[in-house]
């Protein structure tokens, strides 16, 4: 991960993650690169409410939030052209085909790698 400058200044990232330590590590890494972080949010219902409340550039979605699947959130982001990645304990074979072009990071993921990918998504906005 580039550390010489704050590549994510001006980028707003929504984190949907129910594992505290993973969410905290990701949030700290994103903020260190200048991102404005929304969340972490740990429940699907709260995340759905956030979709209409806050604007963001990129989302990081844990597929299973407190035993509820978060695909409905991803389904809301697609028509809005908001890029997102999955950060999940699920393997790629468990992700529906409609999301086959979405980058998926399997836990425990490399925080630096996911931050680099988010930086590329923000830069392409």
Residue spans of the domains in the chain: they are: 12-92+101-123
Terminal-residue alpha carbon distance, the chain: 20
pLDDT recorded at residue 74:
96
**Residue 101's CB: how many other CB atoms inside 10 A?**
6
Burial of 110 (0-12, 13-18, 19+ CB in 10 A): exposed
pLDDT tens per residue, range 60-101: 999 999 999 999 999 999 999 999 999 998 888 889 999 999
Q: Which residues are bridge partners to 41 per DSSP? A: 16
CATH topology of domain 12-92+101-123: Rossmann fold (3.40.50)
């Amino acid at each position: 991960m580039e550390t010489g400058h704050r590549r994510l200044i001006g980028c707003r990232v929504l984190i949907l993650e129910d594992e505290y330590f993973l969410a905290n590590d990701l949030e700290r890494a994103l903020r260190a690169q200048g991102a404005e972080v929304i969340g972490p949010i740990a429940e699907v219902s709260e995340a759905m409410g956030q979709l209409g409340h806050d604007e963001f550039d990129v989302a990081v979605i844990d597929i299973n939030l407190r035993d509820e699947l978060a695909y409905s959130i991803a389904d809301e982001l697609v028509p809005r052209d908001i890029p997102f990645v999955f950060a999940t304990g699920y393997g790629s074979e468990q992700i529906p085909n409609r999301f086959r072009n979405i980058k998926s990071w399997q836990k425990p993921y490399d925080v630096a790698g996911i931050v680099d990918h988010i930086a590329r998504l923000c830069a392409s906005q």
